Structure 1
Amino acid sequence: MSTSNPTHDTAVPTGRRRADVKRASQEHRTGARDAGRKPTTTILVTAILAIVAIYFLVPVYWVVINATKSSEDLFGSNGFWFGENFQLWENLKAVFAANGGIFPRWALNSVVYAGVGSVLATYFAVAAGYALAKYRFPGRRFIYVLVLGGVLVPGTAVALPLFFLFSSIGITNTYWSVLIPSLVSPFGLFLASIYSSAAVPDEMLEAGRLDGVGELGLFHRLALPQLTPAIVTVVLFQFVAIWNNYMLPLVMLADEKLYPITLGLDNWRAQTDRLPEFYQLTTGGALLSVIPLAILILVLQRFWRGGLTEGSVKG
């Protein structure tokens, strides 16, 4: 009668069982993702995304192509292909030299408006969103509804009332008249509130309080690291919104030296009827104005995607 080693008999099957369980788990997750997904649905979704991508990329492609053309080629050739003369560098040099070299000043103004405005607006929005998500106080629901109402109000609707308000205190036609309204981001506050509810555990905050950490310390030392994806998302949205803002600077500013790029390019475009060379300046300036946004999106896109989806996959 033979005897067997129990340890030897169970070691290999146990390892195999673990591998089988791991493989079955992976197959289950894959099957869960693929469940209910038909080939026609995949094709339809892909087609819609392709159409949306074309819708957004075609204007950028047009700007890139036409920034390389002369005045004759701009009107005498196909708008979606290069002309006979490639003069991109000449057009860009003309952009920087026009009006006494005003374009770099416009670019710097846009960086100040969008950079300072987006950073401060994000900090205020994240702090307020965190407070709405993690504290219970009278009027909290009313403030939340007020914020949602602010998301629905377009910026153009408040530009004129803000002009009258700032005019009464004497800060129109200054950097402050554009910066101060840029510090408010209802959408950023709403997003930060939703993300704080999912990403900042109440148990972590209670543990911090038991260790003697103050409320500001809880926010800066414990909450902010958890909210990094949401912070980057709000910064990106707010930067793009301020960079592309046209109506508010148009209402507030009269000094050309305070113009952002959007208002400066429109000023050039308005002169094209009597000075056709401003077509090249406007097109070349539009190309240069897109570059900072493209760089910012490419650098922050991984944080952006994580910020929009991470809260939804936490279990």
Structure 2
Amino acid sequence: MTKMIVNGKEYTYIKNYKNDTSLRKVFNELTRETWGFDFESWYESGFWDDNCILYSLIDGTQMVSHITVNVIHFTVLGEKKKYVQLGTVMTAVAYRKQGLNKILMDIVLAEWKGNCDMLYLYANDTVLDFYPKFGFAPVPEYKAMKAISSVENPYSIRKMDLATIADQELLEVLGQSAVAQFAISATQNLGLIMFYCRFFEVFSFRDNLYYATDLNAIVVAEYQEDTLVIYDILAPEVVVIDAVIAALTTPETTKVVLQVMPHVTNGYTIEPHKEEDLTLFVMGNQKELFEKNQLIFPMLSHT
């Protein structure tokens, strides 16, 4: 813990305290107050690993401002990278517009700018002017789409049921061993996989998991009327994406949308992808990487 004076008032700066019950409690209180959920069930599950690091300011016993650093290993265009995503950026209502989050941002950037291959974050529309002050630039993401027709499916596939121990264990095994499948793929990402599939209260991929037995792959996918949307593929070996598509295509399916970017995009239409009230910001010197290669971060790597 470090004491610091901001605008004549003393605050306590704390970092990496997730195993401290009382500090985690006030962190969860601020998270629930700001975003409507907390991380306690994820912590209790044991899947919150050391790649998720907390940076906070406390006033007395109240947490007043916070940034989470998430160290995520990616394979990007065939190269291994260590990226840092900033998330859960928040300040208690009564303490806003006092520069508290700027102090934390300066601390985080000083620590990580030279210690990773890229810094990035997702921002909602109310704070789009804040992050360029620190060198972040907004960039578009892209999705791949193509028309498909129903053909005879040679693959065995079933919807997973995470109420069963067998499917919980299958998700853990394939999530732990998952290799890169796309132009950008998160690896060693079990913590976030389990968070989104089992412990996130706002939304979950729990009902969007399909196991292709012959491919030994879990496909994170959704059916939207006549459209198949694929969010990720978890498999210990590289699988053919067309085989995954064939396995999941139903007689009603006429189009597939990949919210990941395949290495080979022949036959696909590439279009910008924009989540409502969410913009990707990358440190400015990495902007060309996304614009030139039309990339997108998989949903299971968001924080």
Q: Which has the higher contact order (CA 8 A, sep 6+)?
A: 1
TM tier relative to shorter chain: under 0.3
- TM-score, normalisation: structure 2: 0.26
Instruction: Considering fraction of residues, name the structure with more helix.
Output: 1
- TM-score, normalisation: structure 1: 0.25
> Which structure's CA Rg is the greater one?
1
